[in-house]
A and B are shown apart, each in its own frame.
Chain A
Amino acid sequence: MGEAEIPLGQPIVAKGASVVRRGVRVLDRVDLTVAPRSCTFILGPNGSGKSTLLRLLHGLIRADEGDVTWAGETTRPLRQAMVFQRPVLLRRSAAANVRHALALAGIRGDEAASRTHDALARVGLAHLADRAARVLSGGEQQRLALARASALEPDVLFLDEPTASLDPPSTRAVEEIVAAIHARGTTIVMTTHSLAQAKRLADAVVVLDAGRVTECTPARQFFAVPCSLQGRAFLEGERL
């Protein structure tokens, strides 16, 4: 198993991390290093444990065996955000959703107003700031979820198949936003089924199969010569 190049900074490290649910090993002794400022894509078939791995790396769940550390610490850092496959939006306006996240981070007043406006403008939703979040279209809701996450200016942004249920234009819009957030220095960790998307955005690829990391390589290397059988099979499956 290869490992992505680690740029400067502190990585997220999973060491022998296993997650067991109802007697089933959803993740099995995962060893993984997410490099800071990387754009790491987690690939794998349905049920391979991608979403569980993402939650583990974000600190939403704990490992039953092994551990996860953030910059060497076992405490989940504050400057992280996550966007879920199905965006969870509060029953409030678009702007109020962003303000709520900022308030939880202790950011209020003028700074919150400014960040809210900027974040909505970045995802093209400034004109819908006062619209109820839950009546927006699917693509708009996902962009709002990204705006909420980016307003927090996180060091790491986790994305769980954020384009899974979106049409091509909305997918493209979300990809552009993710690329822009990454360009500002945020580490991206994202799951997807789309190899094309990984090719466009990723600089490191993790292949997960039956809860095990079978490959962790720079994206260019993965798409040229995957070093695991599972990675190769995954690529060939896409080509068929």
Chain B
Amino acid sequence: MDTISQSVALALRMLAHLDPQLTQIVALSLTVSLSSTLCSALIGLPLGATVAIARFPGRHVLIVALNAAMGLPPVVVGLAVYLLLSRAGPLGEFGLLFTPPAMVIAQTILIVPIVAALTRQIVEDVWTEYREQLQSLHSTWWQSTLTLLWDARWSLLTVLLAGFGRAAAEVGAVIIVGGNIDGVTRVMTTAIALETSKGDLALALGLGIVLITLVMALNVGAHVTRGWARARLG
């Protein structure tokens, strides 16, 4: 019990003094997770909106596949990306393995299905409401997609936050493709796992506090934003 209380006290002290090791890990975590969320948004939002609006053979199969892919096992994704980026792999020549970009690629693969599947659901609901009006206004497919994405933006913000949460909390894929190299690819989750196994609970706890605070703050922010948008825009 003493060990735990001492570790908590030390963790809080590290946070209060912005311990360089801790801040470096937090900064890299945010950089990687925000980058993968941005990449997922660029791929997942248009993909989800397209599947919501377009009617084509195999659409239902694609919807089922996207829904199923939301539960992709991170270690399997990590392994697949590892094989792609390893020296003998098809993308080995780029030398990305054990670098932050490799972690961004792995996280993006994990998050894209989440963003696309949830976007599809949200945009399809709005499309059901808007379809005839937009068709009446001679809106093209591309114009309709932009209109729907814009009008669903507050709901889609929550989707992106869910994606960011998944990225920030993910450990299996990034530890395989990043290698958990100190000062290079060590992020909050991999550092917590390592420091816990080493018995350095203070740093692990400090990072844990930051991680939980970050996720909670984002969710509170999303909730408040959506409430404000609903009251303001109907």
Interface residues of A (CB under 8 A from B): 55, 58, 60, 78, 80-82, 84, 88, 90-92, 100-101, 104-105, 132-135, 152
Contacts and interface: CB of A to CB of B under 8 A. Distances in A.
B234 A84 contact: no
B234 A100 contact: no
B130 interface: yes
Given A82-B132, A133-B234, A135-B233, 16 more contacts: A58-B136, A60-B132, A82-B133, A82-B136, A88-B132, A90-B130, A90-B151, A100-B147, A101-B137, A104-B137, A104-B139, A104-B143, A105-B137, A105-B138, A132-B232, A132-B234
Instruction: Kindly state the interface size class of chain B when it binds its partner.
Output: 10 to 19
Contacts of B137: 81, 101, 104-105, 152
Interface in B191-234: 232-234
Interface in B144-167: 147, 151
A56 B99 CA distance: 59
DSSP majority for the A interface?
mixed
A132 B233 contact: yes
Nearest to A76: B138
Contact of B234 (A91, A101, A152): A91
B135 to A, nearest CB: 6
Interface in B102-144: 129-130, 132-133, 135-139, 143
B133 A84 contact: yes
CB-CB nearest 4 A-B residue pairs: A134-B234, A88-B133, A82-B136, A135-B234
B136 A60 contact: yes
B51 to A, nearest CB: 21
A184 to B, nearest CB: 20
Nearest to A81: B136
A153 to B, nearest CB: 14
A167 B196 CA distance: 68
A152 B135 CA distance: 15
Nearest to A93: B233
Contacts of B151: 90-92
A81 B138 CA distance: 9
Contacts of B135: 60
B138 to A, nearest CB: 6
A78 B137 CA distance: 8
A185 B193 CA distance: 74
8 contacts: A55-B132, A82-B132, A88-B130, A90-B147, A132-B234, A133-B234, A134-B234, A135-B234
A236 B132 CA distance: 35
B214 to A, nearest CB: 29
B132 A84 contact: yes
A88 B135 CA distance: 12
B125 to A, nearest CB: 12
A82 B136 CA distance: 6
Contacts of A91: 151, 233-234
B212 to A, nearest CB: 33
A134 B234 CA distance: 5
Contacts of A152: 137
Contacts of A78: 138
A23 B133 CA distance: 26
B134 to A, nearest CB: 8
